[in-house]
Amino acid sequence: MNDPVIQLPIHNVPTLNLSEAALDIYEGVRSLPIVSPHGHCKPQWFSENRPFADPAELLIIPDSFVVRMLYSHGVSPEDMGIGVPPEQRDARAIFRVFASHWHKFRGTPSHMWISSALAHVFGVVMPLNEETADQVYDRIDAELKSARMYPQSLLQAFNIEVLATTDSALDDLAHHKAARRQKLRGKIIPTFRPDSVLDPKHPDFAADVAALGDITGEDTQSFTGYLEALRERRAYFMANGATATDHVVDALMTCHLTEKRAATLFAKALAGTITPKETQVFYGHMLTEMAQMSVEDGLVMQIHAGNLRNTNKSLYATYGANMGADMPVPVDWVRGMDALLNRVGNVRDMNILLFTLDESTYARELAPMVGHWPALRLGAPWRFHDSANGIARYLDQVVETAGYWNLAGFNDDTRALMSIPARHDMWRRGVSLHLSQQRSRGVLGRSDADEIARLLCRDLAIDAYKLGKVV
């Protein structure tokens, strides 16, 4: 088998077919290096460069899209290896369960992504089902033991130029430092996610704020010390390669409080006496504080809104987060971002990237907003909408109002390393289809389409995430 790399489609592997005009555009971007500026791969994969344990750990257990679909068909988390200590898992049995339900993934992006990985990375072209489960498992397991399947080799084979992870504000970034010392061909960089020390709803808020003080030496029991500690952690992340922050918001609201009022709410949050309404107000204020810090230090700010997390309460209580129970909810972007934008939205060299699961806001709110505020860019279709149809809907709804240069390119936002090439390939095919249609309607010329294809598939992400010094 050749080194793993996404190549032209293999027969019977589902893909997004292209017209001749779209294929002409696609050939210009198909082999571009992959820029993955937001995702959830583990940095220790690349610092330690150990083989993946088995097919179940690689393809099933960490993939929330796989987990949610299997769970919807009655598969218990334990039968997927979730909540089971690694040494007690039966990986082959887990894979057999997955294979027996594989046909139920047809029509979903997961079916395309995993089929592509099986064929192009592992050389599996036989149908996957209950009867072939062991054969496919053995093929993948054998391949995982070869050096070309180690994470650092895959980074090169997948032609990944830069890959950003998402890291707790308290992370010491030791794995990032170790990976950087190895001078990998693709850059692995951290992203500052401070939700556990910003949002009083987080179950570890008080404990993490105390740990923030221990790490920085600041008095985080006082509001001024708390803010200074956050500035220090941002600087630490930047010193270790970070270019962006990431913030999770279910009910979007921003505000700007007086220092006295913010300090009062902060004290109540630490004491556990803050009300739900006050919690939202405090977090809304802290999002504005984060935006103002981004003006000072230059970190790109990502806001992911419209995703209500862990809606299956019993599942969350037993197994924790990332069980596929996150659900889209409505977002009022215009009113929700009002306070923040009226403080920093006119800053021209600041980038705030907006991501939503509420597709109804694309044309109504988000495209007009990013088409006005200098600080805003619109992020790629996310989570449930990172799909062939989702990409088409996104481009159709936002381009006429926002233009192309106010978009942030593409990110795969995945924990599943093997799916990264397939996800980017789907985006590149979707972009090529869109641009070929723009050409056929006379909206764009050939040179315009080629230029914009490269922008959408690589260059806009580098610009939006300020990766110029990284790549």
**pLDDT tens-digit series, residues 392-440:** 999 999 999 999 999 999 999 999 999 999 999 999 999 999 999 999 9
Q: Which pair of tokens denotes residue 259?
A: 């220092």
Give the closest residue to 71 by CA, choosing from 248, 414, 309, 322.
322
Q: Is pLDDT of 298 > 80?
A: yes
What is the pLDDT averaged over residues 95-103?
Answer: 98
Collapsed DSSP state (helix, strand, coil) of residue 163: strand
Q: Is pLDDT of 371 > 70?
A: yes
Give the closest residue to 390 by CA, choosing from 357, 421, 414, 365.
357
Q: Is pLDDT of 42 > 60?
A: yes
Q: Is pLDDT of 2 > 60?
A: no
Q: Which pair of tokens denotes residue 281?
A: 């107000």
Rounded CA gap, 299 and 466, in Å? 8
Q: Vertex 432, ends 430 and 438: CA angle to 5°?
A: 105
Poorest-pLDDT segment among 7-16, 365-374, 413-422: 7-16
Q: Is pLDDT of 3 > 50?
A: no
For residues 423 and 386, the answer to whether their CB atoms sit within 8 Å is: yes
Between 2 and 442, where is the model more confident? 442
List Cβ neighbours of 241 (8 Å cut-off, separation of 6 or more).
176, 180, 187, 188, 189, 190, 470
What's the first-to-final CA gap in the chain, in angstroms? 30
The percentage of the chain sitting over the pLDDT mark of 70, rounded to a whole number, equals 97
Rounded CA gap, 75 and 392, in Å? 32
Alpha helices in 298-366 (DSSP H): 313-319, 333-336, 338-344, 361
Average pLDDT, the chain: 95
Sorting pLDDT into bands at 50, 70 and 90, what band is 9? very low
Collapsed DSSP state (helix, strand, coil) of residue 90: coil
The amino acid at residue 265 is: L
List Cβ neighbours of 342 (8 Å cut-off, separation of 6 or more).
none
Phi/psi for 41 (5° steps) reads: -65, 160
Rounded CA gap, 88 and 182, in Å? 33
Rounded CA gap, 448 and 328, in Å? 35
What is the pLDDT averaged over residues 301-328?
Answer: 92
For residues 192 and 237, the answer to whether their CB atoms sit within 8 Å is: yes
The CA distances from residue 166 to 85, 90, 193, 382, in Å, are 24, 29, 6, 16
Give 218's Cβ-side CA count (13 Å radius).
17
The CA distances from residue 241 to 60, 154, 164, 244, 349, in Å, are 30, 21, 9, 9, 19
Give the closest residue to 143 by CA, choosing from 125, 127, 126, 122.
122
The percentage of the chain sitting over the pLDDT mark of 90, rounded to a whole number, equals 91
Sorting pLDDT into bands at 50, 70 and 90, what band is 12? low
For residues 325 and 312, the answer to whether their CB atoms sit within 8 Å is: yes
What is the pLDDT averaged over residues 87-110?
Answer: 97
What is the pLDDT averaged over residues 145-171?
Answer: 97
Sorting pLDDT into bands at 50, 70 and 90, what band is 1? very low
Sorting pLDDT into bands at 50, 70 and 90, what band is 44? very high
Q: Is pLDDT of 6 > 60?
A: no
| CA Rg value for the chain | 22
Q: Would you mind telling me the total number of residues written for the chain in this entry? A: 471
Rounded CA gap, 329 and 331, in Å? 7
Q: Which pair of tokens denotes residue 400?
A: 């006429």
Residue position matching structure tokens 């996800």: 423
